[in-house]
């Protein structure tokens, strides 16, 4: 049985996804399964999944197969987030859709790590479902970021800009999540990771809620971001805040973290160590958390009173 033949098993009614995270029947006939190390392999042959181009094939068949595969991956990632990381889907308002939150994220004073994915068919918990299919969950999903954040004592919020409320734009979803969840949480220290269009979404939030964002967000990491300081209505305060509180990793042939100069960057710009958009989050993860740790560490008050930064500084107030 082909992937296209199981689409009806995997399809999710749009209205139902507003009330629960992903309501997908278990695709018992789906020929691929994730292994314990997060790689997608054929159940019988154990061969890794490979995207294959077939000349002359009906584009609608390809689209249906892609949709089925995307939903299968999403279901598996959500099960790991819930069963292993103890994250739970949260729906605070009809316009919000759903997001994923770690246990007691709203009450905890610990640093809140917020992850925002790219635009398109990328569901909550994923950076790229295609990368997850071909390279594994460690490369294409947010699971490594969630694991690292929890290990550092942080709380976690996974936004869901591509599956927010009905007819909602990603920018509107981010504003609703901020108003309903982030602005009301106990943590006064928020750090954000924004991939692709997620960067534009964050800058739009900074334009809409400048005072609140500047007060509560300590750092933002842009990963091959689509934002533009020249095409978004950011005031002088917002530009200065981005200059001092953000770092931008861009696609480059240079080694990871090598400076990549640009007059339009608006902040320190570094090489992502890859020229592939979907690979940027996994390649940059360690650098992103080091950046957060630096931004959250207490600043030395004098040359004789140097506060040493430790790994635990990320999660504690």
The HSE-up count of residue 240 (CA atoms within 13 Å, CB side) is: 3
Indicate whether 260 belongs to any domain. Answer: yes
- Domain range for 178 is 87-296
- The DSSP secondary-structure symbol of 250 reads E
Indicate whether 20 belongs to any domain. Answer: no
Q: For the domain that residue 105 is a member of, what is the CATH number?
A: 3.40.50
Mean pLDDT estimate for the chain: 85
- Decide which of 61 and 111 is more confident: 111
Tell me: pLDDT of 184 over 90: yes
pLDDT of residue 15: 34
Residues 6+ apart with CB under 8 A from 222: 194, 199, 202, 246, 247, 248, 249, 267
End-to-end CA distance of the chain: 54
Q: Which two structure tokens, joined as six digits, stand for 140?
A: 């294409």
- Domains of the chain: total: 1
Please, what is the Cα angle at 220 between 281 and 179, to 5 degrees?
110
Cα(137)–Cα(285) distance, rounded to whole angstroms?
Answer: 14
Indicate whether 194 belongs to any domain. Answer: yes
Indicate whether 108 belongs to any domain. Answer: yes
Cα(317)–Cα(146) distance, rounded to whole angstroms?
Answer: 19
* Greatest CA separation for the chain: 72
Residues 6+ apart with CB under 8 A from 140: 73, 126, 127, 128, 129, 130, 131, 132, 133, 134, 278, 282
Indicate whether 168 belongs to any domain. Answer: yes
Q: Which two structure tokens, joined as six digits, stand for 176?
A: 């609703």
pLDDT of residue 127: 98
pLDDT of residue 92: 66
Indicate whether 275 belongs to any domain. Answer: yes
Indicate whether 306 belongs to any domain. Answer: no
pLDDT in tens, 52-87: 766 666 777 777 888 888 999 999 999 999 999 999
pLDDT of residue 60: 77
Indicate whether 218 belongs to any domain. Answer: yes
pLDDT of residue 44: 87
Q: Rounded to two decimals, what is the model's pTM?
A: 0.84
């Amino acid at each position: 049985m082909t992937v296209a033949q199981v689409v009806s098993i995997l399809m999710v009614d749009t209205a139902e996804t507003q009330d629960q995270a992903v309501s997908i029947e278990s695709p018992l006939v789906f020929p691929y399964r994730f292994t314990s190390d997060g790689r997608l392999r054929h159940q019988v042959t154990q061969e890794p999944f490979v995207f294959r181009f077939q000349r002359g094939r009906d584009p609608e068949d390809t689209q249906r197969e892609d949709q089925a595969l995307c939903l299968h991956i999403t279901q598996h990632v959500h099960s790991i987030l819930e069963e292993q990381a103890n994250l739970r889907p949260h729906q605070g308002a009809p316009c919000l859709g759903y997001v994923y939150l770690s246990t007691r994220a709203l009450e905890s004073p610990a640093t809140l790590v917020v992850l925002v994915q790219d635009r398109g068919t990328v569901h909550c918990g994923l950076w790229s479902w295609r990368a997850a299919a071909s390279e594994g969950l460690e490369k294409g999903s947010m699971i490594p970021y969630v694991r690292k954040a929890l290990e550092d004592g942080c709380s976690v919020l996974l936004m869901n800009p591509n599956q927010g409320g009905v007819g909602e734009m990603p920018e509107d979803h981010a504003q609703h999540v901020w108003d309903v969840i982030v602005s009301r949480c106990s943590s006064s220290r928020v750090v954000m990771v924004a991939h692709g269009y997620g960067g534009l979404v964050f800058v739009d939030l900074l334009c809409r809620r400048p005072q609140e964002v500047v007060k509560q967000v300590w750092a933002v990491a842009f990963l091959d971001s689509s934002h533009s300081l020249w095409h978004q209505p950011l005031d002088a305060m917002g530009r200065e805040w981005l200059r001092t509180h953000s770092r931008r990793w861009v696609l480059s042939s240079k080694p990871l973290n090598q400076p990549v100069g640009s007059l339009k960057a608006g902040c320190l710009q570094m090489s992502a160590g890859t020229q592939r958009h979907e690979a940027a989050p996994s390649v940059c993860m360690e650098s992103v958390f080091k950046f957060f740790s630096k931004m959250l560490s207490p600043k030395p008050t004098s040359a004789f009173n140097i506060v040493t930064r430790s790994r635990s500084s990320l999660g504690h107030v």
